[in-house]
Amino acid sequence: FNVALSPSLAWTRVTHHTMAVSPDGSHLAYIANSQLHVRAIDQFESTVIASVRDPFEVFFSPDGKWLGFYSDGKLQKVALSGGSPVPIAPSAAPSGAHWTEDDWIVYALPTNIMRIRAGGGTAEEIVRFAHDPRTQQVAMIEGDRFEVLDITTSPSSEYVGLRFREM
């Protein structure tokens, strides 16, 4: 589906996950003008969660009451109704994140896939990518499953091999 922004807004960090739909389909969260916006799915006007600074990688909790995001060198969460962000853990910038039904946040980093309890704690590595300089790996998190795409270049650079692995 298409999402139209009001004329005063512009998408921010379009190479990252800048939009999320709540699990029940009732709300849309998105990042525009470096701010976190929330709106009912059937409304055009959004509310800015002003306490969140320069976020990206937005995602919903399974119950739709919280938004997870990355900002200021940390995974964080904030109530859909607003309020102060709650730090979950320091982290490098993820390239995808998902909040599971059993209250884990699974997120992809350049070298691995990690998980941490939504309430905070110590992050655990659940997948380590290969260290082959000819292979680039990209993690894709969708729902409660994730896949790794291996992109391998031959030594002579004559071909590229692609392989999906469900984890």
**Whole-prediction pTM value?**
0.76
Tell me what the pLDDT averaged over the chain comes to. 79
Contact criterion met (CB below 8 Å) for 80 and 66 = yes
Q: What is the pLDDT of residues 51-110, one digit of tens each?
A: 998 898 899 999 999 999 999 999 999 999 889 999 999 999 888 888 989 999 988 887
Evaluate if residue 45 carries a pLDDT over 90: no
- Which residue has better confidence, 108 or 27? 27
* Structure tokens given for 52: 């969140």
Q: CA 63 to CA 103: how far, in whole Å?
A: 10
Q: CA 18 to CA 31: how far, in whole Å?
A: 5
Geometric angle at alpha carbon 10, from 7 and 12, rounded to 5°: 165
117: pLDDT confidence band, cut at 50, 70 and 90?
very high
DSSP string, the chain: ---PPPTT--B--TTS--EEE-TTSSEEEEEETTEEEEEETT-S--EE-TT--S-EEEEE-TTSSEEEEEETTEEEEEETT----EEEEE-PPPS-EEE-TTSEEEEE-SSEEEEEETT----EEEEE----TTEEEEEEEETTEEEEEEEEE-TTSS-EEEEEEE-
- The number of beta carbons lying within 10 Å of the beta carbon of residue 126 is 13
Contact criterion met (CB below 8 Å) for 6 and 86 = no
Q: In this predicted structure, what is the pLDDT of residue 88? A: 97
Q: In this predicted structure, what is the pLDDT of residue 160? A: 55
